[in-house]
A and B are shown apart, each in its own frame.
Chain A
């Protein structure tokens, strides 16, 4: 008997666009005296020019280094001294900045975001400091540990061809070290125009009041030309691809597989079944690959199949990928794991998905989306990414309903399509001894 899946209470959305082009989404909700602010800029790792790998992420760091009215360290002090938290992150197609605060600090948070949208301090001194910090971030997450950034950093080189899609988004040290204040000013001028950004505010506030504040602080940011975004789409692979990478710190092997998938924006309808497929294959102990690779055949120590390099299906435009990764013992070959994954996909394609299994997967998807939407920050991040990537903040509200409508036939068709196309395989070979 399938469980009745409850849905999210509807939160009203209010939208406006300022004269300078800034798109604003307001999502009031008074269940807790908490607010969240997020600014999404339409520039990510994929927009970095040749010779400037890692620049989008470095620039994200620099945006915390002060602005016209707030000297270095002051942004953090204002937010944290208001009882709030903050962070930023760099993705393939956007860079975001966000705060969560007690409701009484909302005006101050808007001031801080507007101040750096208008005029961040871009000095060589702070850039040099943040180059050092970013190098340590790369060492801690990539260079000084086994499986560092595997496979998001390494698999794209096998699966894609263009510089935009294959280069190291964390950045080569040579590129990072040569970054200058002039580069930063040019990058800011091109990509951080208000017309290239979305501001989302959620939580406990009065819409009229916040509309006034938004206009007060952001309308003065001068309009600038918004950049033309080149397409990052790539043609389908003409053959299977295979590569190996030696990890000098790893003691056990790992495997990654990537498949091209439909355009998540232009062919949203065609993309959705892959989301359900990845959950069916890999989410929770009940999934096909967990059952097969872990419990039945004892082939892997860990498995995950997901959409998008970072596991969020909806935060990237075309080209994106269905990803699989597994860690396995030395006594198992990558070929065995690969064959088992392909067999399981084939079984979905040929034998289909039963109603009970699909209902189970849909329940898990609904639960995960609801849980993400509980924190006010999770909700407005959905709205902001929806507005930026999919052109509609409402995208986030409608997504659970759209996913719930994906039927068994389209999931099987997605699995079948994967079987007829070429994929990229990357083996991580351990270079250390246990």
Chain B
């Protein structure tokens, strides 16, 4: 034993020291003449810049939803195939030359452009983004090839049990709402052509309501100038935002999706939740942590650390434009499927019926506040956090408000949130697994429903 060291068995756990707290980031916000909002944060930790462009999409209705998802999917994967000035290769070369790798994605709520770029290349990326938005060319031959690839990628995704389970839960929860469609329908993708994508692009890629988020080694005033010059020619009429409220669903029972031969079952539970604007949101977030939202949760202790049923059980609150959803995920060994569902329901019931302890609440609260600071301490983390807030029409100031709200949550608040949102009788349960093995035992717990 060293002279300098002490006998570890004689040491006590060191105290936590109140460090200087992380200040909630302040974003320079502005609106350009074309209606594009900008949100810029100087964060010069490395000579890089994170860029996100969030364009809200008009929400489809139950009739048009499937087609809209298919179109959005092919549009986003074909958008970088060239512009009026550049072909696919030139565009890719010019982005790479400044260290960028632009990704485009679409879902029912928004189109999202995302890249990191060397500090010295920000204006190039903004110019190229504007060029794509105003003149993406969707060359026919390339679109046809991509359509074929997308069809095959969807077929591959449909063999992933996690994808199948997510789709089944979404259909169960969202019925004929656009959110029921988590994957494009391959037959609808197959019918698309370049002309449709061009029209769709003109109609959807509009500046009003869109937000450019820039975080990194920049001066906000310079970015404002670069953005207003880059996006000056991107214009289009404003459009009222329309959000379809999430529908009610019929809770109870277990939807069983047969996956013959599966060596695991994917348990997926879902229900209503409140979103970031709701006064009960902070309490719901803490209730979620205590239940299954982090490693030190009841669900992990039970399913993983006590029973060894699963590797990574998890619960969370999904925030989308039309509403928020409480979800629970666990992939468990086939032979313990019903027991795992039962234990999960038991833990949900325990949350809904009995108060959590002060220790549980304090632990969850410190975790929530600490990780909020960690997630905004990096350029990429902050850019993604701000973009996610933008998706619900919130600004950076929400972060400081949320910190305050989390600090004030009581045991009673947590119990009220759990009573309202974790009651098993108000949730939908979906299991993807080998029906011949798991169906009988699941029937001991609840009525078995066919997939929607």
Contacts and interface: CB of A to CB of B under 8 A. Distances in A.
A301 B154 CA distance: 11
B95 A220 contact: no
Given A133-B304, A140-B331, A69 B13 contact: yes
B14 interface: yes
Contacts, number: 288
Interface in A90-126: 100-105, 107-108, 110-111, 114-115, 118-119
A20 interface: yes
Nearest to B370: A83
Contact of B371 (A72, A83, A368): A83
Interface in B1-53: 1-2, 4-9, 11, 13-22, 45-48
B116 interface: yes
Nearest to B102: A285
Interface stretch (B190-198, B308-316, B344-352): B308-316
B177 to A, nearest CB: 28
Contacts of B98: 3, 363
Interface string B146-168: 00110011011011111000000
Contact of A107 (B14, B97, B148): B14
Given A76-B295, A137-B311, A222 B1 contact: yes
A313 to B, nearest CB: 18
B46 A105 contact: no
B223 interface: no
Interface residues of A, number: 104
Interface string A313-347: 00000000000000101000000000000000000
Nearest to A362: B99
Contacts of A118: 8
Contact of B308 (A20, A129, A215): A129
A295 B17 contact: no
Contact of A301 (B1, B153, B161): B153
| Residue of B2, B161, B380 contacting most chain A CB atoms (<10 Å) | B2
A140 B312 contact: yes
B221 interface: no
A146 B156 contact: yes
Nearest to A138: B311
A366 B378 contact: no
A220 B1 contact: yes
B374 A34 contact: yes
B88 interface: yes
A100 B96 contact: no
A220 B8 contact: yes
B437 interface: no
A413 interface: no
B448 interface: no
A284 B149 contact: no
B373 interface: yes
Contact of B17 (A19, A104, A145): A104
Interface of B: 1-2, 4-9, 11, 13-22, 45-48, 80, 88-89, 91-93, 95-101, 116-121, 124, 142, 145, 148-149, 152-153, 155-156, 158-162, 217, 261-264, 294-296, 301, 304-312, 331-333, 362-363, 366-367, 369-371, 373-374, 377-381
Interface of A: 2-9, 18-20, 31-34, 68-69, 72-73, 76-78, 80-86, 100-105, 107-108, 110-111, 114-115, 118-119, 128-137, 139-140, 143-146, 204, 213, 215-222, 248-252, 283-286, 290-291, 294-295, 298, 301-302, 327, 329, 356, 359-361, 363-364, 366-368, 370-371, 373-376, 432, 434
Given A6-B119, A290-B92, 16 more contacts: A3-B98, A3-B118, A6-B217, A18-B2, A32-B22, A83-B370, A129-B305, A131-B308, A139-B331, A215-B4, A250-B159, A285-B88, A286-B95, A360-B93, A367-B99, A374-B379
13 contacts: A20-B5, A81-B362, A104-B18, A136-B310, A136-B331, A139-B331, A217-B11, A249-B159, A283-B101, A298-B148, A360-B96, A363-B97, A371-B380
